[in-house]
């Protein structure tokens, strides 16, 4: 199966389309990934910040419980009569419990500290008041009054019998709580902050460098329809929520979680930059993956296309290239013929070119050399062929060429030059064997199919091969007509024989001296419906080629035998009848037996049948002719040599064979009147034949002069229109009935009417 070809343009289009789809895919993927990541981050931020808030609450709670448990011991030593003991206890507790400092303030304003410090009375009063107000207290970040370091102050009240007697307070370094605000799960990109509802920062992962959180959010745009006042009131109402906002180019999320202490809030913040980085990272990875797959895919397609082109080329080569010579093969010629012909504006000639007796080269020099010759021929043709022309090797030593054609003269000159080059360049080395080529040319004149043109060139080639030199023949329309006619004849001959369309005509042979009919020659006629009576010259040569003559001759013989038998029955004179037999019978061993069978079937005396064999047949097969003649004589048939003098008459033939009669060819008489030599030749020939004691029959006697002359030379019998044309059997029988002698021609010769 041949796959459809993909052009380079559609490949590029496909490539661009694939690239565009990939780009769109990446963009879509980017968007999706960003969305998913953002959602993911929100969930993470929420979870992480919830956890941080819970931890923060728990730690504060734990520290307060620690303070409360210390306070129980402190309460037990009320009214703290031994300050040194209390101070020592406080110092010990400080060391064990991550406090920077522990202090006890009594209701009457005395202060006991875990280590000596000086606090302002305001600080002490403030802590005491706040603690006693709520029972416990946690301050915002503030400076340690003694050394200025950041601290948180946490305190619980001291009671005695249900009555507040003072406060236990601790200074705590903020580092204890800061790790909870790191939001470490977010790759340290986010942080949390503890603020009061008013927005004032309490504690941050870093030390807050602003006075109010809400001031920082001034002018930013929040997601959805949220405004800064909305946010403020949400915080004041203790709402638990998350919001995204954009500040300049940067986008963040804020998670607001109310804490359990002091109406504080924990706010966790994460810049979406983190998300974008993650998305970018992922997208790049995917892009690289996509592109790699795409490249592999393209490489694969390219490979497939390449392989396909390669296998197409292989297929093309096997289908269209002659493996021996590398030239186009016949299929290729058929395929491109019309296109090439159009390219030459139909001013072209189709040539079949053949190496004569190529088989001899193979036989004498081996196939290897034979192949070499063919390869060289192909090379020479390739050199001599213009790009718009073409040629192929069609069969073993046959090449078909389609060449530009202008006029016959220059075309002949071109082929002649080609022949010279072929002879020079393609001759087998180390041998005197020159290749001999023949060209059959069809000038493209009609709009007919390629195979018909090819037939015509073939016909021309057949004629060219018959020539002895300059073997180049142009197709002639009459050749075609001849062939068509031959075909028609061949197609109808069998039927014609069965239907009795062949008829016997009889032409009398007359005695010169008396004019009496002495015999006849049987001549075949073909009664064709559309053409009427057809003369044998039109079909005998064809029947000789295809062998049908063997049957036809026997048919004529049988007809003759039947006539002779009928004449006998009718009481008519049985004159000997000559039947023409083709040369093909000489090589047929059944010839004489068949004759006998037919003649005997009608009980006809053998001496009434005369066999006419043409001179050329006898000359070519002297020995066979001798054998056959002997056989015929043995059976009592007489034998005549037909057409004596028409071809290579050899006196040797006359010497070697014993003929009963010899028929002088009618050509002897042509130009007889104006040619004095002709008289002498005929006289000599007749005298010579008569001297061999063989009967002489003159054929083609048409005029009285000819008849007079021939009678005078001593010819025995005359056959010719002057005496009678060949007649249908019925007419001939009428002549027989009139009985001899027939009407006397003038001057002593007798004519048959
Ligand atoms: P052929 O055997 O030489 O026959 C004589 C031919 O000369 C006949 O032509 C005849 O009609 C013709 N002819 C007779 N008198 C004259 C004349 O005065 N002037 C001219 N110009 N021609 C004359 P036809 O019948 O056309 O036969 C042609 C040839 O066909 C015969 O030549 C013979 O060779 C062959 N032929 C005819 N019948 C048969 C047959 O049954 N078998 C075979 N094998 N060949 C036959
Ligand atoms: Ca004859
Ligand atoms: Ca003859």
- Where residue 44 falls among pLDDT bands split at 50, 70, 90? confident
Q: What is the pTM of this model?
A: 0.56
Looking at all shown ligands, the one closest to residue 612's CA atom is: 2
Directed axis angle between helix 408-425 and helix 358-383, to 10°? 120
- Where residue 745 falls among pLDDT bands split at 50, 70, 90? very low
Instruction: Please determine, for residue 437, whether its predicted confidence score (pLDDT) is greater than 70.
Output: yes
Which one has a higher pLDDT value, 274 or 563? 563
Q: Going from the N-terminus, what domains does the chain have, and what CATH number goes with each?
A: 55-174 (3.30.450.20), 330-478 (3.30.70.270), 505-735 (3.20.20.450)
Ligand 1: which of 510, 536, 591 to mutate, judged by most atoms within 8 Å of the beta carbon?
536
What is the signed CA dihedral for 720, 722, 727, 733, rounded to 10 degrees?
-110
Please name the residue whose Cα sits nearest to atom 13 of ligand 1: 700
For the chain, the average pLDDT equals 87
CA distance 125 to 145: 13
702 touches ligand 1 (CB under 6 Å):
yes
Q: How far is the CA of 637 from the centre of ligand 3 (A)?
A: 19
Ligand 1: which of 551, 580, 586, 727 to mutate, judged by most atoms within 8 Å of the beta carbon?
580
In this structure, of 147-151, 402-406, 705-709, the range with the lowest mean pLDDT score is: 147-151
Q: What is the mean pLDDT of residues 381-385?
A: 95
Which one has a higher pLDDT value, 463 or 316? 463
- Where residue 661 falls among pLDDT bands split at 50, 70, 90? very high
What pLDDT score does 5 carry?
Answer: 57
Looking up tokens 């930013």, which residue turns up?
A: 220
**β-strands 577-580, 609-614 pairing:** parallel
701 touches ligand 1 (CB under 6 Å):
yes
523 touches ligand 1 (CB under 6 Å):
yes
Instruction: Please determine, for residue 463, whether its predicted confidence score (pLDDT) is greater than 60.
Output: yes
Q: How far is the CA of 611 from the centre of ligand 2 (A)?
A: 9
Q: Contact, 37 vs 274, CB < 8 A?
A: no
Q: How far is the CA of 538 from the centre of ligand 1 (A)?
A: 11
Instruction: Please determine, for residue 105, whether its predicted confidence score (pLDDT) is greater than 50.
Output: yes
pLDDT digits (tens, 9 = 90+) for 281-290: 877 887 788 7
Q: How far is the CA of 559 from the centre of ligand 2 (A)?
A: 16
Q: Which DSSP helix (H) or strand (E) runs through 735?
A: helix 729-738
507 touches ligand 1 (CB under 6 Å):
yes
Q: Contact, 511 vs 524, CB < 8 A?
A: no
700 touches ligand 1 (CB under 6 Å):
yes
Please name the residue whose Cα sits nearest to atom 10 of ligand 1: 726
Cis peptide before 79 (omega within 30 of 0): yes
- Where residue 426 falls among pLDDT bands split at 50, 70, 90? confident
What pLDDT score does 343 carry?
Answer: 95
What pLDDT score does 744 carry?
Answer: 43
Please name the residue whose Cα sits nearest to atom 11 of ligand 1: 726
Q: How far is the CA of 253 from the centre of ligand 3 (A)?
A: 128
What pLDDT score does 189 carry?
Answer: 67
Ramachandran region of residue 747, left (φ > 0), alpha (ψ -120 to 50) or beta? left
Instruction: Please determine, for residue 276, whether its predicted confidence score (pLDDT) is greater than 80.
Output: no
Q: Contact, 598 vs 554, CB < 8 A?
A: yes
Instruction: Please determine, for residue 747, whether its predicted confidence score (pLDDT) is greater than 50.
Output: no
Q: Is the dihedral of CA 144, 147, 148, 149 positive or negative?
A: negative
For residue 537, give every residue at least 6 positions away whose Cβ sits within 8 Å of its Cβ, in sequence order, or none: none
Looking up tokens 């804490």, which residue turns up?
A: 259
Burial class (CB within 10 angstroms; exposed 0-12, middle 13-18, buried 19+) of 723? buried
Q: How far is the CA of 363 from the centre of ligand 3 (A)?
A: 43
Instruction: Please determine, for residue 748, whether its predicted confidence score (pLDDT) is greater than 80.
Output: no
**% pLDDT > 90, the chain:** 45
In this structure, of 173-182, 340-349, 450-459, the range with the lowest mean pLDDT score is: 173-182
549 touches ligand 1 (CB under 6 Å):
yes
Instruction: Please determine, for residue 751, whether its predicted confidence score (pLDDT) is greater than 70.
Output: no
């Amino acid at each position: 199966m041949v796959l459809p070809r993909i052009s380079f343009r559609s490949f590029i289009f496909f490539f661009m389309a694939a690239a565009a789809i990939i780009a769109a895919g990446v963009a879509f993927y980017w968007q999706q990934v960003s969305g998913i990541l953002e959602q993911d981050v929100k969930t993470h931020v929420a979870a992480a910040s919830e956890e941080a808030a819970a931890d923060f609450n728990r730690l504060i709670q734990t520290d307060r419980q620690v303070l409360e448990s210390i306070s129980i011991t402190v309460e037990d030593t009320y009214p703290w009569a031994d300050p040194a003991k209390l101070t020592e206890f406080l110092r010990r507790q400080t060391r064990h419990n991550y406090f920077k400092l522990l202090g006890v303030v009594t209701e009457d304003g005395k202060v006991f500290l875990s280590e000596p410090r000086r606090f302002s009375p305001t600080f002490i009063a403030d802590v005491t008041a706040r603690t006693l107000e709520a029972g416990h207290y946690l301050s915002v970040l503030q400076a340690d009054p003694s050394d200025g370091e950041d601290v948180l102050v946490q305190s619980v009240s001291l009671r005695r019998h249900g009555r507040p007697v003072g406060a236990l307070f601790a200074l705590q370094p903020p580092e204890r709580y800061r790790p909870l605000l790191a939001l470490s799960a977010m790759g340290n990109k986010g942080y949390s902050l503890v603020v009061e509802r008013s927005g004032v920062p309490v504690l941050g992962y870093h030390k807050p460098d602003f006075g109010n959180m809400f001031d920082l959010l001034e002018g930013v745009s929040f997601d959805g329809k949220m405004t800064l006042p909305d946010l403020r009131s949400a915080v004041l109402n203790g709402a638990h929520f998350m919001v995204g906002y954009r500040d300049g180019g940067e986008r963040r999320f804020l998670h607001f979680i109310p804490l359990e202490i002091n109406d504080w809030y924990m706010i966790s913040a994460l810049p979406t930059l983190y998300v974008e980085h993650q998305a970018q990272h992922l997208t790049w990875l995917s892009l690289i993956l996509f592109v790699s797959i795409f490249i592999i895919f393209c490489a694969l397609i390219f490979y497939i296309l390449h392989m396909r082109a390669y296998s197409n080329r292989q297929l093309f080569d096997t289908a269209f290239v002659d493996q021996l010579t590398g030239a186009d093969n016949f299929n290729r010629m058929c395929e491109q013929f019309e296109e090439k012909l159009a390219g030459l504006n139909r001013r072209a000639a189709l040539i079949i070119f053949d190496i004569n007796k190529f088989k001899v080269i193979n036989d004498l020099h081996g196939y290897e050399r034979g192949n070499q010759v063919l390869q060289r021929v192909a090379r020479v043709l390739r050199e001599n062929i213009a790009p718009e022309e073409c040629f192929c090797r069609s069969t073993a030593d046959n090449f078909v060429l389609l060449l530009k054609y202008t006029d016959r003269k220059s075309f002949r000159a071109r082929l002649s030059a080609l022949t010279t080059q072929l002879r020079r360049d393609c001759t087998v080395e180390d041998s005197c064997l020159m290749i001999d080529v023949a060209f059959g040319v069809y000038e493209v004149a009609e709009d007919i199919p390629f195979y018909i043109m090819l037939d015509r060139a073939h016909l021309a080639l057949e004629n060219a091969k018959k020539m002895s030199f300059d073997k180049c023949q142009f197709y002639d329309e009459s050749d075609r007509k001849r062939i068509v006619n031959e075909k028609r004849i061949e197609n109808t001959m069998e039927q014609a024989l069965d239907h009795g369309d062949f008829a016997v005509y009889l032409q009398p042979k007359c005695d010169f001296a008396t004019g009496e009919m002495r015999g006849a020659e049987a001549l075949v006629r073909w009664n064709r419906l559309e053409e009427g009576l057809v003369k044998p010259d039109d079909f005998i040569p064809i029947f000789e080629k295809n062998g049908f003559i063997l049957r036809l001759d026997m048919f004529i013989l049988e007809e003759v035998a039947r006539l002779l038998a009928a004449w006998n029955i009718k009481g008519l004179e049985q004159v000997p009848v000559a039947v023409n037999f083709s040369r093909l019978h000489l090589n047929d061993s059944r010839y004489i037996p068949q004759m006998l069978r037919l003649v005997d079937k009608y009980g006809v005396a053998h001496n009434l049948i005369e066999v006419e064999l043409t001179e050329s047949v006898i000359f070519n097969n002297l020995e066979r002719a001798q054998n056959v003649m002997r056989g015929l004589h043995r059976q009592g048939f007489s034998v005549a040599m037909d057409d004596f003098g028409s071809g290579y008459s050899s006196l040797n033939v006359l010497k070697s064979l014993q003929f009963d009669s010899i028929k002088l060819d009618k050509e002897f008489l042509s130009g007889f009147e104006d040619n004095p030599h002709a008289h002498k030749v005929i006289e000599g020939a007749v005298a010579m034949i008569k001297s061999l004691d063989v009967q002489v029959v003159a054929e083609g006697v048409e005029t009285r002069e000819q008849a007079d002359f021939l009678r005078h030379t001593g010819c025995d019998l005359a056959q010719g229109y002057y005496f009678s044309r060949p007649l249908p059997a019925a007419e001939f029988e009428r002549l027989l009935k009139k009985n001899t002698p027939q009407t006397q021609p003038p001057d002593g010769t007798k004519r048959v009417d």
